[in-house]
């Protein structure tokens, strides 16, 4: 099952009920299958994907009380059905079933999926309903052998022989007859199922099989299914007609297995074990008793081993040392994992949908969410949901004062999506939605051939056609197409504290407001093509930007955070030390020193 997570038994597993099987061809192929002694099935898509194709109609039947069973998950891949078995546990005698609609593809019409009501904490169980006309041979190959288990331990499957031969076909059987010719496979139900006498000419004997599952070829995401031949003694109150034939040889085995496979159930949870010692140990997990206390930090542990490992974290004792590097670990498991990460690069957990492979199952589980889009970790403050806990935790940092106002303040006036009719009242939701339109459209000017990637560029460009100048100077009513042009204008003409950037020619001292103009002049000046006209007037500061103290460039995170906040407002990109008082380099010749505060005044809106 590598590469696929079977996360929800409620949805994944189904009990076999009256699956029909092709007898004769299957019988022939049985020999073929026994060559390797196993049958293999692949895992399959999620059940929800088939929901729409489920055939309505409930299976109204009960589940025999108590015990452990084997559940069958069924689905299809591109060409054939696949089945996967997994053990389930039943602990109630009166499990009520309710229908759920899922799982079965259209061509498996007649199979129904039902689950028990789980109010008592029962593990989920699904059935294939009656009326199935599907032939199991299309789905799965089954290997028979003599392994038997007691009724108390396992849920039994009954093959009701309807044809002359009992057989199970291989999954690769392409010569199967119609499903109607199959052999009924049904779960044995004590005291409630009236098994019809076999039709004339057919075998008058019921045979019981145990269905087992175990991991198969990991590289192929396989599960091996095995059906064991099982004949059991019928309860005394069972009608004779329905009593299975029990052979002597098998009886002894059943008895042995009955003793060896007795299961012990935890009253507090679903835990079941074949050993009383395991149950006793498990019961400790329900106890709050932690008698083993760390003398260094007073932390308590249930077992000595846990305490010992904990103490190693205090003492730094790491007995498991890596032979290939200097790393050492408290437990052997850590060492094995470390070696896989760093040295052997063994990645046993492989994604079935891509080439991703991971060292740990949890990483694969996390990765698969990138395929499914599942986001189980919902932010309690906004619509964001994360695929793992850490991202949610990291996201929560964004719910801080400045950020909250910016992104999560409810706005009466909705924000309209620029690409569709969606409207949002929180900026965050709006931004997230806009991302869904990423690379959806290119922006093309309706007046000329101009095209651009970002709408903001187009917005500005369009104004060159319309003549629109929305940015108005409140001092002189001059209008501008871009906000930054207005800002420059205001600074230059209406802010008395503004110190214009002046670029002086290093040779003649002529001042220029633009660096590139100065450069052009300088080349001519150096070649003697241009005379200086401003010599002696250049008593102004040089390029201002380098005058900003170097500390701002270092900007560790905390300092930068503080630097860009002015009166609680954020000024992105304007990282200037607040109130440092440092004299700006290059202002020495002015009548008044230019200080940081002055720069801030200029920047202050």
Output the six-digit token pair for 315: 């003492």
Please report the DSSP string for 368-401 in residue order: HHHHH----EE-SSSS-EESSHHHHHHHHTT-SH
Residues 166-185 that bind DNA (CB under 7 A): none
Output the six-digit token pair for 223: 């599960």
Using CB under 7 A, pick the residue from 124, 258, 331, 595 that binds DNA: 331
| Residue 431 in contact with DNA, rule: CB under 7 A | yes
Using CB under 7 A, pick the residue from 102, 329, 424, 512 that binds DNA: 329
Size of the site for DNA (CB under 7 A): 95
Using CB under 7 A, pick the residue from 98, 280, 409, 497 that binds DNA: 280
> Pairing mode, if any, of strands 222-230 and 143-145?
parallel
User: Which residues are CB-contacts of 306 (< 8 A; sequence separation ≥ 6)?
Assistant: 292
| Residue 478 in contact with DNA, rule: CB under 7 A | yes
Q: Is 256 helix (H, G, I), strand (E, B) or coil?
A: helix
| Residue 160 in contact with DNA, rule: CB under 7 A | no
| Residue 443 in contact with DNA, rule: CB under 7 A | no
Using CB under 7 A, pick the residue from 44, 81, 187, 481 that binds DNA: 481
CB of 579 within 8 A of CB of 596?
yes
Minimum Å distance from CB 522 to DNA?
14
Minimum Å distance from CB 145 to DNA?
21
Output the six-digit token pair for 74: 């069924």
Using CB under 7 A, pick the residue from 107, 214, 441, 457 that binds DNA: 457
Output the six-digit token pair for 570: 């954020």
Pick from 289, 374, 336: which is nearest to 48 by CA? 374
Minimum Å distance from CB 586 to DNA?
14
| Residue 332 in contact with DNA, rule: CB under 7 A | yes
CA distances from 352 to 45, 170, 198, 258 (A): 10, 23, 44, 39
3-state DSSP of 313-366: HHHCCCCEECCCCCCEECCHHHHHHHHHHHHHCCCCEECCCCCCEECCHHHHHH
| Residue 264 in contact with DNA, rule: CB under 7 A | no
**Choice between 174 and 494, CB closer to DNA:** 494
Using CB under 7 A, pick the residue from 281, 411, 523, 539 that binds DNA: 281
| Residue 327 in contact with DNA, rule: CB under 7 A | yes
**Choice between 342 and 539, CB closer to DNA:** 342
**Choice between 142 and 564, CB closer to DNA:** 564
Tell me which stretch binds DNA (CB under 7 A): 60-68, 151-159, 448-456, 531-539.
448-456
Residues 556-595 that bind DNA (CB under 7 A): 557, 560-561, 564, 571-575
Residues 530-559 that bind DNA (CB under 7 A): 545, 555, 557
Tell me which stretch binds DNA (CB under 7 A): 36-44, 60-68, 78-86, 272-280.
272-280
DSSP secondary structure code for residue 152 in this structure: T
Pick from 192, 179, 307: which is nearest to 239 by CA? 192
| Residue 487 in contact with DNA, rule: CB under 7 A | yes
Residues 395-414 that bind DNA (CB under 7 A): 395, 397-398, 403
Pick from 156, 218, 260, 284: which is nearest to 4 by CA? 218
Q: CA triplet 430, 431, 437: central angle to 5 degrees?
A: 95
| Residue 265 in contact with DNA, rule: CB under 7 A | no
Using CB under 7 A, pick the residue from 60, 196, 241, 484 that binds DNA: 484
**Choice between 271 and 498, CB closer to DNA:** 271
**Choice between 124 and 133, CB closer to DNA:** 124
Tell me which stretch binds DNA (CB under 7 A): 49-57, 109-117, 234-242, 477-485.
477-485
Minimum Å distance from CB 320 to DNA?
8
How many angstroms separate the CA atoms of 132 and 110, rounded?
4
Locate tokens 């904490």: which residue? Answer: 121
Residues 496-525 that bind DNA (CB under 7 A): 513-516
How many angstroms separate the CA atoms of 391 and 374, rounded?
13
Minimum Å distance from CB 434 to DNA?
5
**Choice between 35 and 397, CB closer to DNA:** 397
Q: CA triplet 396, 399, 403: central angle to 5 degrees?
A: 135
**Choice between 391 and 507, CB closer to DNA:** 391
Phi-psi region of 66 (alpha: psi -120 to 50; beta: other; left: phi over 0): left
Residues 334-393 that bind DNA (CB under 7 A): 334, 336-338, 341-342, 356, 358-363, 365-367, 369-370, 384, 386-391, 393
User: Which residues are CB-contacts of 115 (< 8 A; sequence separation ≥ 6)?
Assistant: 10, 97, 98, 100, 124, 125, 126
Q: CA triplet 123, 114, 46: central angle to 5 degrees?
A: 80
């Amino acid at each position: 099952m590598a590469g696929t997570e079977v996360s929800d038994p409620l949805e994944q597993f189904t009990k076999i009920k009256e699956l029909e099987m092709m007898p004769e061809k299957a019988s022939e192929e049985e020999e073929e299958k026994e060559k390797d002694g196993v049958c293999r099935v692949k895992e399959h898509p999620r059940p929800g994907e088939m929901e729409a194709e489920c055939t309505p109609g409930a299976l109204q039947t009960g589940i025999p009380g108590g015990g452990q069973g084997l559940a069958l998950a069924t689905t299809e891949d591109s060409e054939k059905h696949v089945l996967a078995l997994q053990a389930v546990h039943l602990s109630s005698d009166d499990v009520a079933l309710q229908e759920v609609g899922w799982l079965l593809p259209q061509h498996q019409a007649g199979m129904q999926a039902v689950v028990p009501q789980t109010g008592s904490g029962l593990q989920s169980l699904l059935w294939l309903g009656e009326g199935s006309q599907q032939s199991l041979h299309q789905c799965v190959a089954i290997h028979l052998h003599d392994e038997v288990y007691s009724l108390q331990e396992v849920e039994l499957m009954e093959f009701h022989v309807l044809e002359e031969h009992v057989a199970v076909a291989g999954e690769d059987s392409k010569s199967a007859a119609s499903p109607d010719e199959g052999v009924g496979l049904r779960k044995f139900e004590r005291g409630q199922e009236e098994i019809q006498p076999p039709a004339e000419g057919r075998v008058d004997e019921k045979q019981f099989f145990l269905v087992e599952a175990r991991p198969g070829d990991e590289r192929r995401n396989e599960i091996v299914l095995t059906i064991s031949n099982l004949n059991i003694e019928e309860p005394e109150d069972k009608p004779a007609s329905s009593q299975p034939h029990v052979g002597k040889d098998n009886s002894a085995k059943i008895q042995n297995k009955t003793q060896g496979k007795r299961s012990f159930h935890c009253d507090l949870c679903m835990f079941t074990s074949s050993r009383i010692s395991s149950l006793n140990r498990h019961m400790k997990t329900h106890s709050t008793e932690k008698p083993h206390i760390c003398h260094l930090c007073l932390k308590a542990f249930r077992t000595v081993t846990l305490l010992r490992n904990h103490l190693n974290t205090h003492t730094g004792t790491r007995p498991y040392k890596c032979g290939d590097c200097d790393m050492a670990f408290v437990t052997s498991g850590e060492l094995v994992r470390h070696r896989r990460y760093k040295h052997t690069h063994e990645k046993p957990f492989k994604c079935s949908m891509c080439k991703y492979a991971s060292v740990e199952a949890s990483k694969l589980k996390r990765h698969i969410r990138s395929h499914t889009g599942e986001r189980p970790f919902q932010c309690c403050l906004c619509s964001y949901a994360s695929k793992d806990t850490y991202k949610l935790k990291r996201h929560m940092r964004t719910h801080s004062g400045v950020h909250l106002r910016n992104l999560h303040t409810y706005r009466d006036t909705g924000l309209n999506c620029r690409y569709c009719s969606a409207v949002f009242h929180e900026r965050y939701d709006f931004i997230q939605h806009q991302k869904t339109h990423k690379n959806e459209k290119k922006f093309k000017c309706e007046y000329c051939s101009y095209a651009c990637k970002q709408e903001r560029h187009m917005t500005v460009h369009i104004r060159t056609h319309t003549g629109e100048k929305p940015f108005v100077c409140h001092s002189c009513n001059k209008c501008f197409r871009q906000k930054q042009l207005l800002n420059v204008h205001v600074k230059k003409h209406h802010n008395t504290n503004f110190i214009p950037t002046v670029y002086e020619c290093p040779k003649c001292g002529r001042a220029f407001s633009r660096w590139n103009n100065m450069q052009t002049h300088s080349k001519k000046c150096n070649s003697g093509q241009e005379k200086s006209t401003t010599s002696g007037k250049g008593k102004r500061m040089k390029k201002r930007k380098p005058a900003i103290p170097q500390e701002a460039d270092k900007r560790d995170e905390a300092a930068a955070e503080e630097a860009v906040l002015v009166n609680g407002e954020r000024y992105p990109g304007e990282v200037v030390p607040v109130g440092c008082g440092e004299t700006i380099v290059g202002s020495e010749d002015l009548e008044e020193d230019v200080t940081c505060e002055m720069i801030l005044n200029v920047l202050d809106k």
